[in-house]
Amino acid sequence: MARADFITGLALIFLSLYVIIESWQMPRLEHLKVHPLSVPGVVPAFIGMVLLLFGTVLTIRSIRRGGHRLRLTEEGLRRLYQDPGNQRLLLTAILSIGYAGFLIGNLPYGLATGLFIFVFVLLFEWEPGMSSAKRRRGVMTAALIATLSSAAITLVFERLFLVSLP
Amino acid sequence: MTGLIDNLARFLSAIGGFTTPLALFHMAWSTLLGIMIGALPGLTATMGIALITTLTYKLSADLAILVLICVYVGAIYGGSRTAILINIPGTPANAATTLDGFPLAMQGLAGRAMGVATSGSVLGSFIGMFFLATIAPLLGNYALKFQSFEFFWLAIFGIVISGHLTALEDPIKGWIAGFLGLLVAMVGQEGIHAYERFTYGKTELLGGFALIPAMVGAFGFAEVLSVMQNPPAEKAESPRDSIIPKLADVLRYWRTIIRSGLIGTLIGIIPGVGEDIGAWVSYAAARRKSKEREKFGKGSIEGLMAAETGNNAVVPGAIIPALTLAIPGSAPAAVLLAAMFIHGLRPGPLIMVESPQFVYQVVAMVFFATLAILIYGVGLSKLLLKVLAIPRTRLMPVVFVLCAIGSYAITNRTFDIWVMIGFGIIGYILRKMKYPMAPLVLGIILGDLMDKNLRRGLVLTDGDLTPFFTRPICVVLWLITFSSIILSIDPLRHLLREVLRLVWSKSRGPFYRRTA
């Protein structure tokens, strides 16, 4: 956690410095004769300063705990990638972002949703060395869940809630 | 006395208003859905309310809030089932329930444990509901005296206390989460001079980040990622004994129930703290006061009762500041607050002036939701086990589809889907690094309040900070806020102790120094 805190602390310092500089550059609206303490940059600058303080404390604390020694090795990264949990996480993120960020809007909504659910179920329930009967059943199940869910969600949002689907 | 009778009449009228077939139908499905959401590990109350909010756009305001309150009460209760049966809290609010619930199930008393959870949850909700009905109007009237100075401190107080209590081991992470939330709220056109802050010319950012997509991301998508990363949960087995709550358990532990109900309600009122802390504090208090302390952690009925009473009492407690100050007492209450705004309701200090009836409608909603969990708690067992048997590989893609379409449906913008994804990834990373989510959400909600009131206050006093530190309510708020910070920083705490010791010894004179 000390290493993660070190990185977060540095990220917070950079973020807060950026916020303070941006706030400083915000207009003072002198031509409107507004009160100098009501200008738009006051509160973001205040938040930036508090975050700068917290980021500095977090960084110093993590350095004291040895967090600055990141020890990034190829072996460590490989182990991170080979962890089954992390692989599931990566696959979930790729599929979800691929669906929500790219499929939606480029394919008809029902088709995109059905495709996403079908691929998701199939990939996560696929086991190496499955018998062909089990594989067939897996494909059928995934297709059934995908069709029913996609149809139900499309129908509910389009007809019941009158949402014009993407 | 007249006021009391008026309020009782309003409550009874609200009860009458919800006894229509349509309202009862909405109560029935939403409470059941809430219980299922709560029972499924990975689906939390906040996520449930955020997702269901997207399904309530076409409902009338009172029915929409009724649905959301039923989901809220149901989810906090539903999580106890999983905690008892498979030792995994269905929602974070039920973490303390596992300590005694699961050992009871291992002793073959899963049914009795569920009965205790049902009676605790129902009584906790009723205690909280009583205080919602009595405190909310008083607080609403009192809040009318608040000016910019008080509202500024209330926002800072909320962030600091919520940050502290949701990250007890490392409060700085709670505060960072809270101030990051405030920073997120700075994006968009500000409320005094209409200047566009941090928008970079993007018209979608003019109104800032919409709360529902941000919440759906931070609680929905982040949960989907976490659930898929973790190993699958064990399969729950049907209890062998009766799940009907026993009156004897209630009568035996009535003191624990009242104490936990009071603690839960109080924790609920504190901004952004929430059900999990309510359950832990109630559990710790019950253990300290118990005559059978040795049983705690090994299957104590009293411990289970305390945890379940405490977490459900937080629900009405958390609604009190949401209704009267527009400051949510917990993360699910934050979504509820956002839903109220979406449905054109105006919670805040003026609520008792503009729409006092609504406060009692909310009390009636909690009342019906509590009755519904009692009915489901007694009758529902097999269906819930079937829901628990749905593999996550089939449930999570559907949940994610709802996250995406729910975020889109508010304003029909694909931009909000990206907001959901962004907040989901940030929420996942922050959670992995032990940053609590509740202060972040609270920060997003309170950002605007803090921004306007700090600047307004400074303009009113022409830059003089004195009223911020001298007005009576401000004094209380800043004293608690600064004490919370000072007492959680080790070197400052030691310094303070030394100073106090020095002052104490000086005031007692040389005799004290000689003998001390």
pLDDT single digits (tens) A73-87 = 788 788 888 888 899
pLDDT at B371 exceeding the cut of 80? yes
C-alpha to C-alpha distance for B81 and B229, rounded to whole angstroms:
23
Q: Are residue A99 and residue A54 in the same domain, yes or no?
A: no
Query: Hey, which of B8-12, B371-375, B383-387 has the most confident mean pLDDT?
Result: B371-375
- Whether the per-residue pLDDT at B302 is higher than 90: the answer is yes
Q: In this predicted structure, which of B40-49, B120-129, B149-158 has the lowest mean pLDDT?
A: B40-49
What's the structural domain count of chain A? 2
Q: How many other C-beta atoms can be found within 10 angstroms of the C-beta atom of residue B437? A: 23
Residues A88 and A118 occupy one common structural domain: yes
Report the pLDDT value the prediction gives residue B516, as an integer from 0 to 100.
38
> Does one domain contain both A67 and A82?
no
Q: pLDDT at position B402, please?
A: 86
What's the pLDDT score for residue B410? Answer: 76
Q: Are residues A65 and A99 in the same domain?
A: no
Tokens read off for A99: 């669906």
Question: Looking at the structure, do residues A98 and A64 belong to the same domain, yes or no?
Answer: no
Cβ-Cβ pairs closer than 8 A, A with B, add up to 155
Name the most confidently modeled range: A47-51, B111-115, B338-342, B494-498: A47-51
Residue written as token pair 């009967």: A133
Please list, residue by residue across A106-140, b when 16 or more beta carbons sit within 10 angstroms of its beta carbon and e when fewer do. ebebbebbbebbbbbbbebbeeeeeeeeeeeebee
Residues A44 and A82 occupy one common structural domain: no
Residue A165 lies in a domain: no
End of a domain among A71, A91, A122? A71
| Residue among B391, B409, B414 minimizing CB distance to A163 | B409
Check CB contact under 8 Å for B172 and A58: yes
- Residue identified by tokens 């059943």 is A137
- pLDDT tens-place string over residues B58-89: 889 999 999 999 999 999 999 898 888 877 78
Mean pLDDT of chain B: 87
Q: Is the dihedral of CA B262, B268, B269, B273 positive or negative?
A: positive
Q: Which one of B152, B156, B223, B393 would you mutate to disrupt binding with A, by most A Cβ within 10 Å of its Cβ?
A: B393
Task: Give the model's pLDDT for residue A120.
Answer: 94
Count of other CB atoms within 10 angstroms of residue B432: 14
Q: What is the DSSP letter of B204?
A: G
Helix axes B275-289, B301-325, angle to 10 degrees: 140
Q: Residue A115: inside a domain, yes or no?
A: yes
Same domain, A30 and A84: no
B225 contacts in chain A (CB < 8 Å): 89, 92-93, 96
Mutation test of the interface with chain A: which of B170, B175, B176, B432, choosing the one with the most A Cβ atoms within 10 A?
B176
User: Contact at 8 Å (CB) between A45 and A24?
Assistant: yes
| B235-241 mean pLDDT | 70
The answer to whether B504 contacts chain A (CB < 8 Å) is no
pLDDT in tens, B138-158: 888 888 888 899 999 989 998
Residue B310 has pLDDT above 90, yes or no: yes
Q: How far apart are CA B306 and CA B285, in angstroms?
A: 8
Picking from B153, B400, B415, B433 by the largest number of A CB atoms within 10 A of its own CB, the best residue to mutate is B400
**Which residues does B10 contact at the CB level (< 8 Å), separation at least 6?**
B356, B357, B359, B360
Higher pLDDT, B511 or A150: A150
- Could you say which of B180, B393, B414 has the minimum Cβ distance to residue A105? B414
Band (B515; pLDDT cuts 50, 70, 90): very low
Q: Do B224 and A92 touch (CB under 8 A)?
A: yes
| B179 → closest Cβ in A1, A51, A100 | A51
Choose the final residue of a domain: A71, A91, A112. A71
Output the CA torsion sign for B191, B197, B202, B208.
negative
Q: How many residues can be counted in chain B?
A: 516
Write the pLDDT tens digit of every residue in B327-340: 888 889 998 998 99
- Of A97, A95, A100, which Cα lies nearest the Cα of A121? A95
pLDDT band at B236 (very low <50, low <70, confident <90, very high): low
Q: What's the rounded mean pLDDT across residues A80-103?
A: 90
Q: Look at residue A166 and tell me if it is in a domain.
A: no
pLDDT at A128 over 50: yes
Are the beta carbons of B421 and A99 closer than 8 angstroms? no
Residue A131 has pLDDT above 80, yes or no: yes
Amino acid occupying residue B9: A
Mean pLDDT within B314-321: 93
A155 in the same domain as A88: yes
Q: Is the pLDDT of residue B219 over 60?
A: yes
Q: Is pLDDT at B425 greater than 50 in this prediction?
A: yes
The span from the CA of B43 to the CA of B224, in Å, is 8
CA distance A11 to A134: 48
Chain A closest-CA separation from residue B192 CA (Å): 8
Pairing relationship of beta strands B196-197 and B188-189 according to DSSP bridges: antiparallel
Least confident segment among B4-13, B155-164, B260-269: B4-13
Query: CA nearest A145 in B: which residue?
Result: B394
Q: Rounded to whole angstroms, how far apart are CA atoms B364 and B261?
A: 18
> Tell me: the pLDDT tens digits for A10-65?
999 999 999 999 999 998 877 777 778 888 899 999 999 999 999 999 999 999 88
Residue B36 has pLDDT above 60, yes or no: yes
CB contacts under 8 A, B 208-227 vs A, are: 221, 224-225
Band of pLDDT at residue B509, cut at 50, 70 and 90: low
CB contact under 8 A, B421 and A40: no
Indicate whether B508 pLDDT > 50: yes
Residue A137 lies in a domain: yes
Same domain assignment for residues A120 and A142:
yes
* A136 inside domain: yes
The Cα B58–Cα B64 span in angstroms is: 8
Q: Which residues in chain A (120-159) have CB-CB distances under 8 A to chain B?
A: 120-121, 124-125, 145, 149-150, 153, 156-157
Contact state of B393 with A125 under an 8 Å Cβ cutoff? yes
> Contact A29/B195, CB-based, under 8 Å?
yes
Average pLDDT over residues B366-371: 94
Q: What is the dihedral of CA B466, B468, B474, B477, to 10 degrees?
A: -120
Residues A137 and A82 in one domain: yes
Single-letter amino acid, residue A110: G
Q: How far is it, in rounded angstroms, from Cα B496 to Cα B484? A: 13
Confidence of residue B507 (pLDDT cuts 50, 70, 90): low
Intra-chain end-to-end CA distance of chain A, in Å: 41
Give A145 to chain B, closest Cα distance, Å: 8
Nearest CA in chain B to A57: B172
Structure confidence at residue B167 as a pLDDT band (50, 70, 90): confident
Give the domain-ending residue among A44, A71, A98. A71
**B58 interaction partners in chain A (CB closer than 8 Å):** 160-162
Q: Tell me the angle at which helices B61-86 and B331-342 cross, rounded to the nearest 10 degrees.
A: 160
Please give, rounded to a whole number of angstroms, the shortest distance from the CA of A160 to a CA of chain B. Answer: 8
User: For residue A145, what pLDDT is reported?
Assistant: 92
In this complex, the residue of A12, A29, A42 whose CB is nearest that of residue B176 is A12
The answer on pLDDT for B514 being more than 50 is no
Average pLDDT over residues B210-231: 85
Q: Report B:26-85 residues touching A (Cβ under 8 A).
A: 55, 57-58
Angle between helices B414-432 and A84-97 in degrees, nearest 10: 160
Nearest CB among A34, A100, A161 relative to B57 is that of: A161
- Calculated CA dihedral for residues B402, B406, B407, B409, nearest 10 degrees: 140
Give the dihedral sign, CA B403/B409/B410/B414: positive
Average pLDDT over chain A, rounded to whole? 88
Kindly state whether residue A87 falls inside one of the protein's structural domains: yes
ipTM score: 0.91
User: Which of the 8 DSSP states describes residue B92?
Assistant: G
pLDDT band at B231 (very low <50, low <70, confident <90, very high): confident
Kindly tell me if the per-residue pLDDT of B268 is higher than 60. Answer: yes
Do B404 and A100 make contact, defined as CB atoms within 8 angstroms? Answer: yes
pLDDT at residue B510 greater than cutoff 60: no
- Shared-domain flag, residues A63 and A126: no
Q: Is A90 an 8 Å CB contact of chain B? A: no
Q: Which of A27-31, B207-211, B386-390 has the highest mean pLDDT?
A: B207-211
Q: Which of A46, A48, A101 shows the shortest C-beta gap to B418?
A: A101
Assess if residue A82 is contained within a domain: yes
Domain that holds residue A154: 78-160
Residue B233 has pLDDT above 70, yes or no: no
Residue in chain B closest to A49 (alpha carbons) equals B179
How far apart are the C-alpha atoms of A101 and A117, rounded to whole Å?
15
Same domain, A60 and A113: no
Q: Tell me, yes or no, if B391 comes closer than 8 A to chain A by beta carbon.
A: yes
